[in-house]
Chains A and B, each alone.
Chain A
């Protein structure tokens, strides 16, 4: 997938924002003289809204926040909850200036030039308390009020703390020493809580001692440097293995020399016997000389072999340590990403009106930095799923006799050379019957297939591409995509595996098994023809040696029966285009693989063995080679290609005549097309570039009315992507119009908007939208995946 660069769109945003800001500035002035100008108020609200949306799309969150506060106030003025007064203008100008500054500086508030918190509290107070400027001014001085608005609970606590510990100090100071540490902590907390303003500066004013230890404890190194170091280390390892081989060869040479020495000893004694008869008189001196030198060589050789073997085995220990320590350079504790989850779960719980107690265990478990980066998204995804689909709302839980508060646990631990991450909830569990039902309804399975499926297999259907039991796609637990993405992430990128255990009514456990580092995985070495390939064991179900008689032909395809299931077979040599070796032995070696809900058997020519391998990329020249994920260098230095399981499965399914699932689209239908209805220039162009990069034909419309007109005139598109707030015809109105027109109703409609409230989502659902993506979670993958899923 082509990555797009948000920063490229900042320029476009600046252009657009300049115009809008100018209009808003003029608007404020006009409004001062004409505070009841309804049309102008509407206009200003829309402009603020557009700035909010566009800035968020290009990642300028601070601007989006300021625009959001402005919009809030304008909504109140429009709805008559508040009257516009000239005093408000000052705050408006300040806010607009802040946006101008941020837009000019690409959103960076360098050196805190702007007092954004102060601005926020002023605007918040304005929105809360109407036109009472005195109140707003008060808020300005008492920043605590802003803190209170954001987090009411901690404030109370902090006040108590300020009062109590001081007393404690008075009481306990003369007491025993045990409380010293406790006091110190409390004192620190007192100062921090009493002066929240100085918190940031306190962070900077570290005492010299603290500063020193920090400087000494860590250094920052480019990961590329660590990687090239690891490259060299693995070469040292290979060199070491070679040295060990040499030592062994040396021992063979030594035993050969010993044999020669023994043969010589026999000859010598025979010569000595001959010497008595006087036949070899002239040779005696040479014989003695040779005898002496052979004895010396023999001694020297055995001494050398002994010392060399010792050296090699000593180095071997060091090299093993070196490799281990080297790998650890890339390791970070899981907490590096885990620490953001409590907040995320709390927010999600609030949004879905669930009560959740979230626990983390094993946050100190160390993982490869790359693994940590890759694992974050799947984990967020699973946790959203737990909160949305897993844990029931408090009332339901009470009815079921469960505690109102649901439990979600995130746990990491190391088991040998792999890391296990488990996410457990005590929610509703996955009902295999519901999954079956849904699969049949969506045409993934026939009734017969579904009923032949075991409960366990049925549960795994949730990992099927595009499979979701939710009625409408929201960005939560879905973001428009199913659990299949999690599976692909874990299996394809991390070369791990994903399991689910679930009991209806009791809860669900997702278990991610991932390699300790991305650089080292377990692999099965197989032989195809004359060549050896490595296959990551993560997705291998089993290895079999079957009697050729067990391979049956069904509709011209070779299959085997395993545990009441039919597994299609393909020859790996055919997929790889590698010449086959003449068959040896009677049994056919087969590797069965499950990937994304499909099972396949690959016929190979032999199993070589299972071992740990170091993954190396094919390099920047061979950027992406079909079926090959990389290479590994074996102990003796030989290079072995590593097979890419997802590629193999795709190619195998095409070859064995399967459709690649109901999700596949026939290429002959031509490029997919999409209509984008969006009044913001920045957002429109950004969405256009995303779709064009993905090979879509893109049509655009500046509002709902124009979009609808285009469709009515006969424009054929595979999907419509629309904003909500647009002049002339809103996105909701457009959706309703499309969904009530028999000739258009089959076109999927995807709403992309900054409206995030539940009622607004409900309105979108009511209008008949197929998906609802909010700009705050917007990214190109979400958008593309959602659209792709819907147009299948």
Chain B
């Protein structure tokens, strides 16, 4: 009788400890999760003299070497298509699209391309230079600065401070809007 009593007491203590441990663990986890949830990783890139960024979670890959095949009948901001391991991807020039010039393809080195994805839709955007990955608190994304051009405004969903710079966050939904040309269909 007494034995069982002790055993029960022991198991009670064990249970208590277990509960406390679990609680401690979950508390610790929560803070980590909380922290993660509050940070936003951004990939910076440069177009002409301006810096822009996209969410790292919207980036699939980056590539440097490619052969562009031009396709007739596409809008001017579509430079053509490339073959990425058997998959055909369109090449978008974000500068032409946003009416802020054009990315030069004539240099010694090809401009780097960032593959951005929104659901099923993907394109590779060419940029002048790829910068760092910046981590910022996610509540520090501000509305886009009002002085930017109307044509450009649709493509910028917000602005963030990275170091001393003000960087435009690209609106990938807008940039990845499917392209349809021709009268029929």
B70: CB under 8 A from chain A?
Answer: yes
B67: CB under 8 A from chain A?
Answer: yes
Segment from A84-92, A229-237, A360-368 that makes contact with B: A229-237
A370: CB under 8 A from chain B?
Answer: no
Q: Which of A531, A617, A624, A637 contacts B70 (CB 8 A)?
A: A531
Segment from A9-17, A199-207, A506-514, A638-646 that makes contact with B: A638-646
A724: CB under 8 A from chain B?
Answer: no
A1: CB under 8 A from chain B?
Answer: yes
CA–CA, A231 and B183, complex, Å: 31
Segment from B1-9, B11-19, B52-60, B83-91 that makes contact with A: B83-91
Quick check: A619 and B81 within 8 Å, CB to CB? yes
Contact pattern, B 89-132, Cβ under 8 Å of A = 1, otherwise 0: 11010000000000000000000000000001111000000000
Which B residues lie within 8 Å of A633 (CB)? 83, 86
Q: Which of A231, A235, A617, A641 contacts B72 (CB 8 A)?
A: A641
A631: CB under 8 A from chain B?
Answer: yes
Count of chain A residues with Cβ under 8 Å from any Cβ of B?
34
Instruction: Select from chain B the residue with minimum beta-carbon distance to A637.
Output: B83
Report the minimal beta-carbon distance from B125 to chain A, rounded to whole angstroms: 11
Quick check: B69 and A619 within 8 Å, CB to CB? no
Asked whether A625 and B179 contact (CB < 8 A) given A638-B69, A641-B69, the answer is: yes
Which B residues lie within 8 Å of A578 (CB)? 72
B180: CB under 8 A from chain A?
Answer: yes
B163: CB under 8 A from chain A?
Answer: no
CA–CA, A16 and B88, complex, Å: 47
B181: CB under 8 A from chain A?
Answer: yes
Quick check: A1 and B88 within 8 Å, CB to CB? no
Report the minimal beta-carbon distance from B181 to chain A, rounded to whole angstroms: 5
CA–CA, A639 and B70, complex, Å: 9
Which B residues lie within 8 Å of A399 (CB)? none
Asked whether A647 and B184 contact (CB < 8 A) given A622-B71, A623-B179, A625-B71, the answer is: yes
Which B residues lie within 8 Å of A235 (CB)? 85-86
Report the minimal beta-carbon distance from A451 to chain B, rounded to whole angstroms: 33
Tell me the residues in window 157-171 of chain B with beta carbons closer than 8 Å to chain A beta carbons. Answer: none
Which A residues lie within 8 Å of B70 (CB)? 531
Quick check: B181 and A626 within 8 Å, CB to CB? yes
A627: CB under 8 A from chain B?
Answer: yes
Quick check: A622 and B86 within 8 Å, CB to CB? no
Asked whether A650 and B122 contact (CB < 8 A) given A232-B86, A628-B72, A639-B69, the answer is: no
A/B interface sample: 14 pairs, CB < 8 A? A231-B87, A234-B86, A619-B89, A621-B178, A621-B179, A622-B81, A623-B179, A623-B180, A625-B71, A626-B182, A631-B81, A637-B67, A638-B69, A640-B69
Report the minimal beta-carbon distance from B79 to chain A, rounded to whole angstroms: 12
Report the minimal beta-carbon distance from B90 to chain A, rounded to whole angstroms: 5
Quick check: A628 and B71 within 8 Å, CB to CB? yes
Contact-residue size bin, chain B (C-beta under 8 Å from the other chain): 20 to 34
Which B residues lie within 8 Å of A641 (CB)? 69, 71-72
Contact pattern, B 62-74, Cβ under 8 Å of A = 1, otherwise 0: 0000010111111
Contact pattern, A 361-404, Cβ under 8 Å of B = 1, otherwise 0: 00000000000000000000000000000000000000000000
CA–CA, A96 and B73, complex, Å: 57
Quick check: A639 and B83 within 8 Å, CB to CB? yes
Quick check: B122 and A626 within 8 Å, CB to CB? no
B185: CB under 8 A from chain A?
Answer: yes
Quick check: B81 and A618 within 8 Å, CB to CB? yes
Quick check: A576 and B181 within 8 Å, CB to CB? no
Which B residues lie within 8 Å of A531 (CB)? 70
Report the minimal beta-carbon distance from A3 to chain B, rounded to whole angstroms: 12
Which A residues lie within 8 Å of B89 (CB)? 619, 621
CA–CA, A617 and B122, complex, Å: 13
B40: CB under 8 A from chain A?
Answer: no
CA–CA, A735 and B123, complex, Å: 53
Report the minimal beta-carbon distance from B140 to chain A, rounded to whole angstroms: 30
CA–CA, A531 and B71, complex, Å: 10
Which B residues lie within 8 Å of A619 (CB)? 81, 87-90, 122
CA–CA, A222 and B183, complex, Å: 34
Which B residues lie within 8 Å of A628 (CB)? 71-73
Which A residues lie within 8 Å of B82 (CB)? 639
Tell me the residues in window 564-590 of chain A with beta carbons closer than 8 Å to chain B beta carbons. Answer: 576-578
Q: Which of A1, A231, A577, A650 contacts B73 (CB 8 A)?
A: A577
